[in-house]
Structure 1
Amino acid sequence: MCRFLAYSGEAILMNELVFNASNSLVSQSKHATMRANPLNADGFGLGWYPEHDDDIPGTFVSIEPAWSNRNLIQITSKIKTRHFFAHVRDASAGMPVSQSNCHPFQYGPYLWMHNGRLDQFSKFRRNISKGLSDQAFDYIKGNTDSEYAFALFLDEIAFDPHASAQTLKKAMCTTIEKISRYRQAVDAHSNAFINFALTNGHTGIFTRLSTLADVRPASLFYQAKANAVIVASEPLNRDKEDWVKVERNTLLSVSQGQVITEQI
């Protein structure tokens, strides 16, 4: 599994969270504290929304470890943004390390990340493909469960670049329901870790979900202050009182500095 963070608020340099925080995302790429394997070295990615009038986010991905990439330091220390996603990857078994498999995935104004795995994905990947529209199938460039889930989501919103916040929430829940049905159809009854993250630069949708009741979901926290909301796999500093743990089987929506949680 992986580590990610999402930021929404006043414009900041991305390196404030990616590099400079005491438990920054780059620190988590080497020494994640809330997962059994502390290393997330199978690539990284950024997605950010420009300060000028442009709804389409920029992206930068690499298969290098985040701590050793010179360009990541340069980009995050020079670009200010009000909304961004960042991700460090620990590739699931059978998933190649390639740029096309690095998060965040992007379509139009949307960015998508995943921390977790859809266990036994190889058993139902073909069935997902059969159920996708031609547009969604053609969108997929890699072979990760995460990108296939995003393709399912894009079909749910009919690739609408102007989908409302309510539509995005409904589509996220339906995507998870469809994944569950695909898994049940092939007797994939082991656990799936489903921490999805989606944004259009205005609304963020996040989930923390484990399909088996006796398995703890991957960690997820948020910090909401007057000028910003941060959602992250781990708190980015040691002041734990500033962070709220997202409960299991919860959908979190963030818009205009407001955080709403609801059970899935």
Structure 2
Amino acid sequence: MCRFIAYTGEITLMEDLLFNAENSLVRQSKQAKMRVNPLNGDGFGVGWYPTHSDELPGTFVSIEPAWSNRNLSQIATKIPTKHFFAHVRDASVGMPVSQSNCHPFQYGRYLWMHNGRLDQFSCFRRLLLSELSDQAFDFIKGNTDSECAFALFLDEIAFDQQASHSKLVQGMRNTIEKISDYRRQVGASTNAFINFALTNGQESVFTRYSTLADVRPASLFYHQEGENIIVSSEPVTENSDYWTKVERNTLLSVCANKVVAEALF
């Protein structure tokens, strides 16, 4: 499984969370603290929203480890932004390491990340793909479960670039319900770890979810200070009191400078 960070708030440079923090995302790419396997070296990606009048995000992905990519350090120290997603990847067994499989995935205004895995994906992949619209099917460029889940979500919101926050939340719920239904249809009995992250540059939706009640979901935390909000797979500072743990099977909304946690189902 992977690690990710999302930020929204005052104009900042990405370097503070990617490189400078005590438990920065680059540090987590080498030595994650809340994973059995601490290494996340199968590529990385960042997606940021510009400060000028452009609602579409820029993205930069690479199959190199985050700690060894010179361009990432250059971008992180030079580009100001009020909102960004960043992800370091630990590829699931059998999934190729390629740029098309690096997060965040983008469609128009939307960015999408996933920390986890849809276990036994090969068993229900064809079923999921067969029920996508042509537009969603053609959108997929890689072969990860994460990108297929994003395509399913885009179908749920009818590819609406101006979807309301409530529509995004409902689309996220519907996406997870459909994935769970596909798994039931093929008899998938192992756990799926579903920490999804979705943003349109102004509002964001996150989940912390596992399909089996006796399995702990992948970790997720948030911190808010004024209008600055960080959502992260792990606390990025040593002070644990600084961070709020997202409880299992929770949907977390970031909207209008507020963080709201509610039961996913």
TM-score normalised by the chain length of structure 1? 1.00
User: What corresponds to 2:141 in structure 1?
Assistant: 141
Taking only the aligned residue pairs, the percentage that are identical comes to 70
Distance 1:212 1:181 in 2: 14
Letter in 1 for 2:120: Q
- Residue 11 of structure 2: SS of its match in structure 1? strand
User: What corresponds to 1:4 in structure 2?
Assistant: 4
Distance 2:178 2:114 in 1: 16
Letter in 2 for 1:201: G
**Superposition map of 1:208-227 within 5 A:** 208-227=208-227
TM-score normalised by the chain length of structure 2? 0.99
User: What corresponds to 2:80 in structure 1?
Assistant: 80
User: What corresponds to 2:194 in structure 1?
Assistant: 194
Deviations 1:166-197 (A, max 9, x none): 00000000000000000000000100000000
User: What corresponds to 1:19 in structure 2?
Assistant: 19
Gaps spanning 5+ residues in structure 1: where? none
Distance 1:263 1:95 in 2: 31
- Residue 132 of structure 1: SS of its match in structure 2? coil
Count how many residue pairs are aligned between Structure 1 and Structure 2: 264
- Runs of 4+ aligned residues of structure 1 deviating over 6 Å after TM superposition are none
Distance 1:43 1:210 in 2: 24
- Residue 211 of structure 2: SS of its match in structure 1? coil
- Residue 162 of structure 1: SS of its match in structure 2? coil
Is the aligned partner of 1:71 residue 2:71? yes
Residue 257 of structure 1: how far off its partner (Å)? 1.5
Residue 256 of structure 1: how far off its partner (Å)? 2.2
Residue 146 of structure 1: how far off its partner (Å)? 0.2
Distance 1:191 1:261 in 2: 23
User: What corresponds to 2:33 in structure 1?
Assistant: 33
Residue 227 of structure 1: how far off its partner (Å)? 2.9
Distance 1:123 1:132 in 2: 16
Distance 2:257 2:221 in 1: 15
User: What corresponds to 2:256 in structure 1?
Assistant: 256
User: What corresponds to 1:103 in structure 2?
Assistant: 103
Gaps spanning 5+ residues in structure 2: where? none
- Residue 175 of structure 2: SS of its match in structure 1? helix
- Residue 47 of structure 1: SS of its match in structure 2? strand
- Residue 254 of structure 2: SS of its match in structure 1? strand
Letter in 2 for 1:173: R
Distance 2:33 2:257 in 1: 28
User: What corresponds to 1:175 in structure 2?
Assistant: 175
Deviations 1:78-134 (A, max 9, x none): 011000000000000010000000000000000000000000000110111100000
Q: What RMSD in Å do the two structures reach over aligned CA positions?
A: 0.4
Letter in 2 for 1:117: R
